Chain A
């Protein structure tokens, strides 16, 4: 009799314990804006090398914090260089293998059916709320703040800002109509289904991504090779296709 209850638990246990332990996959921490392109490249890489690659996407600041705390990632792809430098200072990055070749730009998006007519930064004053990734830490938010500060608009707009976890979670509320406008990357706007670009930011701050294998990687050979793959012709082609700007010769 008393066993019936625990017997309910047992099959669940066996079922779940049976699931195998993580295979030696390559774990890549990537900025949220890289989601689609990196997933595509991960598949391509696995197809050619047989090395499985899995990703954790989020705000570069969150990912950097996790790496600092000891997260077992093999490669870090940050949306800015500051996070990478901080990790490098902490000795967590294989500095020699660090690559910086990817750039992006900011855009202001509104819902596809939005009534707001926004063409310049000044027009944002008329919008009740603006979503952007947390300007205190997340790269896209920091870039946006830098842009608006340069125009002297930040103080006026700051009360309207709804900070979000990462750039993709700034885009989502615009798409479902919760927030009328957001500042995101051009590449994010490109994948949006029900949001459109109101205007592109011109003369905005320089945006530079940074990718490097991590010092703590247990799979450091594959980590280094994957970084080379990303910065190589196949990687660059994919990023360009997604709307990123690729810098310098190969």
Chain B
């Protein structure tokens, strides 16, 4: 693999991994609370959290761009704090994190919902407080769903394009991920080198989906047992 391709791959993996790690704690907590709550508030929150899934990624990108723009309120705050996000690798992480969030939350929420609430009640009755029950009962019972969500989020993060190009641009070596590089190379007629990157993404996507499928199957088998 040419050094350029390797550095693009590493940059992409790194951004996707950091984004996935970043959304894990809030994602799992959001999934847990969505699974436990009922009512109109829940639907509203769920809809808001799902927006990145249904909005065009460029729309999400533009919203983020507006929010973080130097002249905007949030941008000014960040500027004062000396934090640069737009068009840096942090913007790649931010864009992919936002876009991947619902993909983590959905399967995790389903996994939490599938837990027999009586098991959670049992945990309480056996002397564990709510957070301890979450840690000792809910998490271990839902881990497969959480893992599936994590892999889905990670895969999405690897391939995110629209929101990333809006707020991170396509700066080689800094913000240019696989998806952006493929697009950019095609645009300037370097189809062969773009195809090389496509090959790499196929391998990664294959591995991620394969792992997810295996875990899903084991999960259904376990449910049947």
Contact = CB atoms under 8 A, between A and B. Distances in A.
Tell me, yes or no, whether A binds B: yes
Interface of A: 2, 5-6, 8-9, 12-13, 15-17, 19, 22, 25, 27, 32, 35, 54-56, 58, 62, 66, 69-73, 164-166, 168-169, 171-173, 175-176
A69 B86 contact: yes
B117 to A, nearest CB: 21
A19 B14 contact: yes
B174 A16 contact: no
Interface of B: 10-11, 13-14, 17-18, 20-21, 65, 68-70, 75, 79, 84-89, 140, 143-144, 147, 150, 154, 167, 169-174, 186-189, 191, 211, 215
A165 B186 CA distance: 12
Contact of B173 (A9, A54, A72, A172): A54
B84 to A, nearest CB: 5
A245 to B, nearest CB: 23
Q: What secondary structure prevails in chain A residues at the interface with B?
A: helix
With most chain A CB atoms within 10 A of its CB, the pick from B21, B144, B147, B186 is B147
Given A69-B69, A164-B187, A172-B188, A13 B169 contact: no
A64 B69 CA distance: 14
A164 B183 CA distance: 13
Contact of A12 (B13, B167, B170, B174): B13
Contact of A69 (B10, B20, B70, B174): B70
A27 B174 CA distance: 9
Nearest to B189: A172
Nearest to B12: A16
Nearest to A14: B17
20 contacts: A6-B147, A6-B150, A9-B154, A16-B17, A17-B17, A17-B18, A19-B14, A22-B173, A27-B171, A32-B188, A56-B172, A69-B86, A69-B167, A70-B69, A72-B88, A165-B187, A168-B187, A169-B187, A172-B186, A172-B188
Would you list the 6 A-B pairs with minimal beta carbon distance, nearest first? A16-B14, A172-B189, A71-B87, A169-B187, A56-B171, A5-B147
Contact of A19 (B10, B172, B188): B10
Given A27-B174, A69-B69, A168-B189, A15 B87 contact: no
Given A5-B147, A19-B10, A176-B191, A66 B172 contact: no
A55 B154 contact: no
B86 A70 contact: yes
A66 B169 contact: yes
Nearest to B86: A70
A5 B87 contact: no
B112 to A, nearest CB: 15
Nearest to A67: B87
B69 A15 contact: no
A17 B68 CA distance: 25
Contacts of B174: 22, 27, 54, 56
A12 B208 CA distance: 12
B182 to A, nearest CB: 13
B189 A58 contact: no
Contact of B170 (A56, A70, A164): A56
A44 B211 CA distance: 47
Contacts of B191: 176
A171 B188 CA distance: 7
Contacts of A73: 87
Contacts of A35: 188
